[in-house]
Structure 1
Amino acid sequence: MHHADAGACELPDSGQSLVQAPPLAGEPGQGAHTIAGYLREVARRHGPSEAVVLRKGDHRIAWSYNELLARSMEVARALVACGIGKGERVGILMTNRPEFLSSLFGTALAGGVPVALSTFSTPQELDHLLRASEITLLLYEARVLKKDFGAMLRELEPMIATARRGELASAHFPYLRQLVALGGLRGEAEPFAVEAGGAVETWDEFVAHGTGIADDLVLARADGVHPADVGGIFFSSGTTSLPKGVVHSQRAFAVQWWRWPRLFAMHEPVRSWTGNGFFWSGNVSMVVGTALSTGGTVVLQRVFDADEALELAEKEQVTFLNGRPHQWARLQASPKWAGADLSSVKYVPRGELIWQHPTVNTDWEVPMSFGCTETMTICTSFVAGDTEHGFEGSFGAPLPGNFLKIVEPISGRPVPVGTVGEMCIKGPTLMSGYLGKAPEECFDAEGFFCTGDAGRVDEAGRFFWEGRMTEMIKTGGANVAPIEVDDVIARIPGVKRTQTVGVPDDLLGEMVVACIVPIDGAALDEATVIASCKAEIASFKVPRRVLFFRDEDYAITGSEKVKSSEVRALAVARLAADNAEAVRPTLA
């Protein structure tokens, strides 16, 4: 198939919904396609410039590009000394702090595979993540808010407290040999020290292992890593009850990092802020790419706090804010909102609320894009400000190297152009697969990933998203699998049936709502259900509302399954009625 230029997609003459983008090799702005190669290239370009900043109170940590590379090499030397070989997995359980980035890049430099683990994890979730990821070494932050991860880990495996360092031999975590704990930061209200001992050592002890390792050895390892090799692993809620491990290649990271500035029309060093965890692929992709690919700065906030975020935006002259609509609402509600100077802000995806601030003045247009964890964020997009190829309601054309098709879900056959079907995609940033799954369980016979999203394409090859074909709930930018919530609720005494659904919500996109049929005579209330969920699953998965129904209210299939679409409609109607009832007395 011939491609006329680097920006045009092509459809076959058959009239089917098959769209092939131009080759990746022709995409402008691309550089090295390994994680370590990317860091070394941006460090060569921007060495003494400020790359990473973390401010806490009056204390400010700032690393240049040269220092980010040096700190990453420090981690890499330590990993080599600890015996990490090519392809071995290193867990990173941290908030947004400079050590997260030095751990990510350092693991890649040593030839290992970084595995990003959520700091929202409950003990049960962390247990699953550690077992499923099969990491050899864990780099973790000892305490995050009220969570003591050191205590949590010792509870999951008591041998951690007694094993010699580097010699953990646990049947429960059979691959895990060593744990490294990071303490608090200066400037925190309650700084704390690491409780080392047993299989756990401090960060300084860990780094000291690498003093005898030559840089040449590390760089030789980095040179031996190929773009197609495994680059990292993220976990995403799927259609099953447990998070799925999404395996990405080296080039998936690098390709996206390089392309963000082109798509966002960024022509100057960008100061990119985030208060959301780097264990989400979209966050680490977008924030690192917009900042480091432009010679700019990653401005870190360990945990989102609206007051602090406004202060950071002002003091650090942030130009790019990467958050979610419900966080923008919290910024607006902050007492510091009115007096904040946000005049530096230029780029805000989904940032309508931010643009209402009197000091924000930008003509930047958000390029509509579509993607998911499995495609390492975006796979279709416009370029910001490209009025020639833009089209209202479209999410852009497939990005270079990608091949998109719209199929009839049951037969898998491509549908005619303009017809709605399931969107399927393959290309250079598509995942290598799911942990523990065979290729045929991840992709169709042609190697496409079928997203579970409904959509169509037009004659120009532009993609139009029509909603979710699956039951996944998208709340506040995160995915929630209903069955994961229902598995918890089903174990609560007195629950006969449970169906968790996503109800449209202006703030969150979708609100998680649990719909329950109690056993006759059972005394269940909303607070009890929510408390039970909070004890077992991450906070963003916990239902915001719990509604109670009778069996006859539900639409039950012949196989005793609940029709989720009808339950969702019931929930919407009930909530609307409750809201109307709440408003009526005030109108009277």
Structure 2
Amino acid sequence: MIDETGRTIATLIREHAFRRPDQPMVIDPVNRVSYGELDRTTRALAAGFAEAGIGPGVRVGLIMPNSARWVQIALALTRIGAVLVPFSTLLAARELRAQLEVSAVSHLITTEEFRGHRYLDDLAGTLGRDAITSGELIDPGLPALRHIWTVDDVLAAGRSPDTEKVVDALSDSVTPGDPMIIIFTSGSSGIPKGVIHSHGGALGAVAAGLAARCINSDTRLYLPMPFFWVGGFGAGILSALLAGATLVTEEIPRPETTLRLLERERVTLFRGWPDQAAALARHSGTVGADLSSLQVGSLDALLAPELRAERGARANLFGMTESFGPYCGYPADRDMPRAAWGSCGKPFDGMDVRIADPETGAPLPTGATGEIQLRGPHILLGICRRTREDVFTADGFYATGDLGHLDDGGFLFYHGRSDDMIKVSGATVYPSEVQSALKAVDGVDNAFVTHVDGEAGPRVAAAVVCRSSMTEDELRSAARNMLSSFKIPSVWLLLDSDDPIPRGGTGKVDARGLRELLTRAHTATGDRQPAAAGAPTRIGDR
């Protein structure tokens, strides 16, 4: 691993190209790009961008699925100081236009079509395709947007050798404090925000968590997360780039192809959402892929039984877009102290975490539950179209909206979102506490807890993935041994698998969709209709 104190993309690419030119940096099912090739191709691509007038501070949008080409285009832009604005491939036309407007993107690079989305058609509207491909699109609703290219156009564009000398000068002018990326939050519990991060902040945040994630230059890392979210770009691309590791990716993760890719590339580390690993594990027996190369530090579901940790023993790495991914954790290959089981680990170096009263903002003592607030060199620079006073407290903390507490050992325990906190007859219920208790019940594979509205106020509601013979009464009885009576769910949805659980593009549970799912279950309980094929197996509310 190299010293990241320079903290710009260009210095990292050049250093690795010198030290390990032949080592693959990124692999997809079609392409393999070494560190040496990464330096050459991103320099050439950057020359083409420079000829088009793209340089430091220019905001460039990117719409395309995970691939080695995504990595090359994104790093070519950021190495010359352009501000990368990756957009979700899942966006509808209205959502895409809204994010283009908020982020004030002036140049957009897009794939023509992906999974039924035709992005150029979405943007053309009444102007027609000719207006877009002319490179001179002027739309009153998107006044900043001046040029749109397809990915093929970018890759095929010629560039002058003399311009590559300009690339080197532009790269050398980039500083750690310069903005590097505007990345939109997933919006699982609200409207997505365009979060701005600097080179130094983003790279520093990723570097602070590398050891906890067990990533080094020998790592062959696979993440199913899309690169347009911080989980894919930070924990994937930048983690590999900082450590000199190899990143393995694919456009559309599917159990059979993903398992074969893990086997073929001898992937050593699988990170991501636990539910994604569990879904692969369910198919591994059928596919028969050899995953023996996976090492401790990977998600447990894909590891051999003897390598798995006890439930709660390993840290749940925790973070957000505003902190550029995890800001606390613990080495993923070892157990935490017993008193810290179920926690998110400790804040990483460079991150100041405090717990504050959600209503007054006053700091709370150790052990008290309140809003998690963050301060340090690795957090966001700001949010698009919001003032600094709107984003930070007077003393420079970012109020996350997450709830948690710090114990005497400095370990952070997460209790959910402040807007998901449930008040039952005046008492506070934290969904994460109820989820943890239900997951500890023998026969339960997973649990998702929120609230639904009832005539007497909010009611605790749980969707539980459990064995088919388990009943609602058995779950309620088990919960009584672990939870106060007011915390026990009164609305239950029993599932054979977690497939019906609504999720966003990253795999994160969609909080609003979960409430809607459980509200429907609550409404349906009076009918007592048998479950349809593939639907939840039992629905109850008593």
Structure 1 length-normalised TM = 0.70
How far is the alpha carbon of 1:175 from its aligned partner? 1.4
Partner of 1:182: 151
* SS of residue paired to 2:366: coil
Q: Which of 220, 240, 249 is 2:169 aligned to?
A: 220
Partner of 2:392: 443
Alpha-carbon shift at residue 294 of structure 1 (Å): 3.5
Q: How does 1:15-164 map to 2 (within 5 A)?
A: 30-55=4-29, 60-155=30-125, 158=127, 160-162=129-131
Q: Could you say which residue in structure 1 is the equivalent of 2:178?
A: 229
Partner of 1:11: none
1:405 to 354, 366, 374: 354
Q: 1:545 offset after TM fit, Å?
A: 8.4
1:327–1:457 Cα change, 3 Å: closer
Aligned partner of 1:378 in structure 2 is: 326
> Secondary structure in 1 aligned to 2:174?
coil
- The CA distance in 2 between the partners of 1:426 and 1:576, in whole Å, is 46
SS in 1 for 2:210: helix
Paired AA for residue 462 in structure 1 = F
Secondary structure in structure 2 of the residue aligned to 1:234: strand
Supply the distance in 1 between the matched residues of 2:94 and 2:295 (Cα, whole angstroms): 41
| Counterpart Cα distance in 2 of 1:44 and 1:500 | 60
Unpaired segments ≥5 residues, structure 1: 1-26, 184-201, 476-481, 483-498, 509-532, 548-567
1:346 equivalenced with 2:295 (yes/no): yes
Q: Partner of 1:247: helix, strand, or coil?
A: strand
Secondary structure at 2:160 match in 1: helix
Q: 1:182 to 1:267 in 2, by over 3 A?
A: closer
Structure 2 stretches lacking a partner, 5+ long: 422-430, 436-449, 451-456, 467-501, 532-536
CA distance in 1, matches of 2:146, 2:408: 55
Map Cα deviations across residues 48-101 of structure 1 (whole Å, 9 max, x no partner): 21111111xxxx311110111211112211111001132010101111111211
* Worse-matched range after superposition: 210-219 or 268-277: 210-219
* Residue 528 of structure 1: aligned partner: none
Is the CA contact 2:315–2:336 (under 8 Å) kept in the aligned structure 1?
no
Q: Is contact 2:14–2:39 with CA below 8 Å preserved after alignment?
A: yes
Shift of 1:160: 4.8
Answer whether contact 2:297 2:333 (CA < 8 A) is retained. Answer: no
Q: Is the 8 A contact 1:261 1:289 kept in 2?
A: no
Q: CA RMSD in A?
A: 3.7
Shift of residue 382, structure 1, vs aligned partner: 1.8
Relative to 1, partners in 2 of residues 1:133 and 1:293: Cα closer, same or farther, differing over 3 Å? Answer: same
Matches within 5 A, 1:163-562: 165-182=134-151, 202-205=153-156, 207-208=157-158, 210-238=159-187, 242-267=191-216, 269-334=218-283, 337=286, 339-347=288-296, 351-355=299-303, 366-385=314-333, 391-471=340-420, 504-505=462-463, 543=513
**CA–CA distance in 2 between the matches of 1:36 and 1:366?**
35
**Contact 2:12–2:241 at 8 Å: present in 1 too?**
no
Residues 220 and 266 in structure 2, CA contact (< 8 A), matched pair in contact too: yes
Write the distance in 2 (CA, Å) between the matches of 1:275 and 1:41.
27
Tell me if the contact between 1:272 and 1:290 (Cα under 8 Å) persists in the aligned partners. Answer: no
C-alpha separation in 1, matches of 2:151 and 2:4: 35
Give the CA deviation at 1:372: 0.7
Q: In structure 2, what is the Cα distance between the partners aligned to 1:411 and 1:578?
A: 45
Identity among equivalent positions (%) equals 27
Cα distance in structure 2, aligned partners of 1:113 and 1:43: 23
Q: 1:103 to 1:320 in 2, by over 3 A?
A: same
Check whether the contact 2:354–2:373 (CA below 8 A) recurs between aligned residues. yes
Cα shift at 1:226:
1.4
| Aligned residues of 2:24 and 2:246 also touching (Cα < 8 A) | yes
Q: Which has the higher contact order (CA 8 A, sep 6+)?
A: 1
1-side partners of 2:538 and 2:461: how far apart? Answer: 23
Give the conservation status (yes or no) of the 8 Å contact 1:503–1:571: no
Cα distance change, pair 432–505 in 1 and its aligned pair in 2 (3 A): farther
Asked whether the equivalents of residues 259 and 284 of structure 2 are also in contact (C-alpha less than 8 Å), the reply is: no
Q: Whole-Å Cα distance in 2 between the matches of residues 507 and 43 of structure 1?
A: 47
CA deviation vs aligned residue, 1:344-365 (integer Å, no higher than 9, x gap): 111555x33223x57x857898
Partner amino acid, structure 2, of 1:465: Y
Q: Is the 8 Å Cα contact of residues 42 and 76 (structure 2) preserved in structure 1? A: yes
Distance in 2, matches of 1:539 and 1:153, equals: 28
Paired with 1:275 and 1:125, the residues of 2 have a C-alpha distance of 23
**Structure 1: distance between partners of 2:117 and 2:460:** 28
Code of the residue aligned with 2:211 in structure 1: it is R
Letter in 2 for 1:41: E
Task: State the distance in 2 between where 1:109 and 1:141 align.
Answer: 22
- Is contact 1:38–1:254 with CA below 8 Å preserved after alignment? no
Alpha-carbon deviation of 1:240?
8.5
How far is 1:467 from its partner?
2.0
Q: What is the CA–CA distance in structure 1 between the aligned matches of 2:416 and 2:324, rounded to whole Å?
A: 20
Offset at 1:126? 1.1
| Change in CA separation of 1:204 and 1:401 when aligned onto 2, cut-off 3 Å | closer
- Aligned with 1:334: secondary structure? helix
- Corresponding residue SS for 2:33: strand
Q: SS at the partner of 1:451?
A: strand
Counterpart residue type for residue 216 of structure 1 = K
- Please tell me whether the aligned partners of residues 326 and 507 of structure 1 are also in contact (alpha carbons under 8 angstroms): no
**What code does the residue aligned with 2:150 have?**
A
Change (3 A) 1:49 1:31: farther
Change beyond 3 A, Cα 1:344–1:374: same
Distance 2:513 2:179 in 1: 35
Change (3 A) 1:97 1:347: farther
Provide closer, same or farther for how the CA distance between residues 82 and 267 of structure 1 changes in structure 2, counting only shifts above 3 A.
closer
Specify whether residues 442 and 507 from structure 1 end up closer, same or farther in structure 2 by C-alpha distance, changes over 3 A only.
farther
In 1, Cα distance between equivalents of 2:508 and 2:528: 24
| Aligned pairs, number | 461
How far apart, CA to CA, are the structure 1 residues paired with 2:403 and 2:244?
Answer: 38
